[in-house]
Amino acid sequence: MTDRSWHIAKDGKQAGPYPEEQLRDFIAKGIIDRNTLVWTEGMAAWQRAGDTPGLFPSTYAPPPPAPFAGGPPAAATAVTAMAAGGTGTGAANHLEADFGPFGLLGRYLLFAIGTILIVTAPWAAASFYRWLVSHIRVPGRPNLAFEGKAGDIWWVFVLMPLSSFVPLVGPFLNLFFAWLALKWVVRNISSQGRLLPLTFTGGYWGYLGWCILMALSVITIIGPAWVVASWLRWMCRNISGATRPVSFTGSGWQILWRSFVFEVCSIFIIPIPWMLRWYARWYVSQIAVG
């Protein structure tokens, strides 16, 4: 018995992931037969349960069924783009977030206050990322969590706000610490209690270049939306160690109009919690794996 999670496809419908113990229970009850298509991490494509080693005896070999059109959740043939204006819900390989409006706003404010106080910044950051990651759902990666501790790189979060007061080189130091923080967050993500072998391989100079481009694009008013989209695609491409490629599928237009709606509605103060949740959930939904 292994701790793998399985996806199944039957009668043109995809379901899962299920733990292997539950999969074997489905087999015992006849819910899954030899012709049911299955997929688990490490498999290149869907295949019949009867052809999958360890699930059924290998003495039976009926004609293979027609391929399942959806493809495996980790295959490159899975859906990698959203419907125009969509939120990402239902896309088999896109992340989802279950942020609550007041939970997200409250955590963000605590993070901001903790950073301003400087001494509490490491704890504020660790607590914020722990809450944030625990509310994100990744296909095929159950129980996502953040394992980083305040003491890991406490000096980064203390020096980051202090660097803003350093003449001339202050902004560059601030961005350097932000880059280190990004690398720390990526390498401390876990699934089912085990750290994932993830690293952020994007270099500091590349990160700095995107920040400079972002600052320059502000004079165009609408340009930052396209810079943000390209910057996020760059960051996703530089996540190494994932078994499935990570990508950002949102466009500049989608970011532009959502940012405009968010800013206009936020003028009225009261809608801010709901608008912040809507805005953040959309960004998460545009990240795809596979």
Cβ–Cβ under 8 Å, residues 198 and 246: no
Burial of 266 (0-12, 13-18, 19+ CB in 10 A): middle
- Work out the widest C-alpha separation in the chain, in whole angstroms: 75
Above 60 in pLDDT, residue 155? yes
Residue among 108, 142, 100, 140 at smallest CA distance from 124: 108
Q: What is the mean pLDDT of residues 155-162?
A: 95
- What's the predicted TM-score (pTM) here? 0.70
Domain with CATH 3.30.1490 in the chain: 1-73
Give pLDDT, residue 73: 39
Higher local confidence (pLDDT), 236 or 15 = 236
What lies within 8 Å, CB to CB, of 37 at 6+ separation is 8, 9, 10, 46, 47, 48, 49, 65, 68
Q: How far is CA 3 from the centre of its chain?
A: 22
Q: Residue 91: CA atoms inside 13 Å, Cβ hemisphere, count?
A: 27
Angle of the 154-162 helix axis to the 121-134 helix axis, nearest 10: 110
239-289, pLDDT tens digit by residue? 998 888 999 999 999 999 999 999 999 999 999 999 999 999 999 999 999
Q: Which amino acid would we find at residue 35?
A: N
The b-or-e profile of 203-225 (16+ CB within 10 A means b, else e) is eeeebbebbeeeeebeeeeebbb
Per-residue pLDDT tens for 188-226?
999 888 899 999 999 999 999 999 999 999 999 999 999
In which region does residue 117 sit, left (phi positive, over 0), alpha (psi from -120 to 50) or beta (all else)? alpha
Select 1-73's CATH number: 3.30.1490, 3.40.50, 1.10.10, 3.40.1130: 3.30.1490
The neighbouring-strand residues paired with 16 are none
CA 132 to CA 276: how far, in whole Å? 14
Distance, CA of 241 to CA of 206 (rounded, Å): 20
Helices 154-162/101-116 angle, 10° precision: 70
The number of residues making up the chain comes to 290
Q: Could you tell me the sign of the dihedral formed by the alpha carbons of 113, 117, 118, 123, in that order?
A: negative
65 backbone dihedrals φ, ψ, rounded to 5°: -75, 170
Is the omega angle on the peptide bond into residue 72 within 30 degrees of 0, that is, cis? no
Strand 144-146 to 189-191 pairing: antiparallel
- Span 86-136, pLDDT tens digits: 333 345 589 999 999 999 999 999 999 999 999 999 999 999 999 999 999
Residue 44, pLDDT score: 66
Task: Tell me the percentage of the chain whose pLDDT exceeds 70.
Answer: 84
Is residue 69 packed enough to be buried (19+ CB in 10 Å), middle (13-18) or exposed (0-12)?
exposed
Report pLDDT digits (tens) over 52-75.
877 765 544 444 444 444 444 333
If one counts every other C-beta atom within 10 angstroms of the C-beta of residue 247, the result is: 19
Highest average pLDDT, of 23-27, 32-36, 58-62, 141-145, comes from 141-145
